[in-house]
Amino acid sequence: MGQIAPPVSTSDSADPDAQNRPTAEDLLKALQRKRPVNEVIAPATASEWPPRPLRQALLPEGSAVVSRSGWLVKDGRWWRFRFDPASDDPPVKLLPNSSLEVMISASSGSASPVMFVVSGEMTEAEGENYLLIRVARRAVGAREQAVEQEQPEPGLRKAAEQGTSVPDQADRGDAQGVGGVADAPVEDVLEALKRQKPKEEMMPAVASLPADQTLRDAAVARTLIPEGAPLVNRPGRLLRQADWWTFTFESDHPEYPEPPMKILPSKSVELMARVAQRGVSGLVFLVSGEVTLFQGENYLLPRVATRRIDTGNLRK
């Protein structure tokens, strides 16, 4: 038998450039040479990011505010209520009403901030809270309370001024009259009554119209709606005037138009404004809400607002 010849590789003969191809080691060396000169910065983890300022959580519309102490601060065209320093709550804008008007009057002329204790409810509009004050009391400051506590009893103070001694309890009992009540001076009785005043003073009511007011002002005052009066299903249009949304009433008697009212910020107003800004012509809303009174002008706080469907001549 003849010898079998070894197989002849055809790859080298078929591909003459096979010997010139780079090997895997050559590719790795080339990649290492192309690595970046600067050091690669690894992405930071969530814990390494700088802390972002936390946004104050908003209170939902209708939230109750009960017996919160603070004082008034003027901020542009708005009045704000700055809560007691012990609280972390930010100052909140106050909706104009009679309670706010009385608080402003009580604060005027005071060199230091006047502390109040207020209760009311929150509204919400465009990412901000507003406070409608229902009840406001003027709180006696801690300094005034301390001064009152340090004052001696009327009898002790009078004896000290006269340089005489004060009888003890047994002597007082012997000095009592037939009715069992000592004959105390009128000044001491009045002083004792003053010391029994409450720690919180009720705010005075809104002052009535001055007697010397002109006939024109009196006529305007008669057209004002009292504080807290309800409006039910009143048709009207929403218009933008300067910095306020106003509600212009529709009436069956155009010869006797009602004055428009500025609308207080709330969720209902925010939804009405979004619809009105779409450019729908002749848009009429049916609004139910509450009227407030501030410095001789009415404001409207909508509670419910719906679009009135235009039925054309069927409404006539």
Q: Which amino acid would we find at residue 126?
A: E
Per-domain residue ranges of the chain: 64-139, 226-315
Alpha carbon 247 to its chain centroid, in Å, reads 23
d(CA 213, CA 123): 35
* Average pLDDT, integer, range 215-241: 78
Specify the 3-state DSSP secondary structure of 245: strand
CATH code of domain 226-315: 2.40.50.140
Tell whether the model's pLDDT for residue 75 goes beyond 80: yes
Mean pLDDT of the chain: 74
Q: Which residues pair with 305 in a beta bridge?
A: 287
* Average pLDDT, integer, range 84-113: 91
Query: What's the pLDDT tens digit per position in 272-302?
Result: 888 887 766 678 999 999 999 999 999 999 9
Query: What's the pLDDT tens digit per position in 130-141?
Result: 999 999 998 875
Gyration radius from the chain CA atoms = 40
Tell whether the model's pLDDT for residue 164 goes beyond 50: no
Q: Which residues pair with 297 in a beta bridge?
A: 294
H/E run at residue 129 = strand 128-139
d(CA 289, CA 95): 14
Is the distance from CB of 95 to CB of 122 less than 8 angstroms? no
Alpha carbon 75 to its chain centroid, in Å, reads 13
Give residues with Cβ within 8 angstroms of 190, minimum separation 6.
Answer: none
> Among the listed ranges 45-49, 64-68, 216-220, 236-240, which one has the minimum average pLDDT value?
216-220
Does the structural domain 64-139 have CATH classification 3.40.50.720?
Answer: no
Tell whether the model's pLDDT for residue 127 goes beyond 60: yes
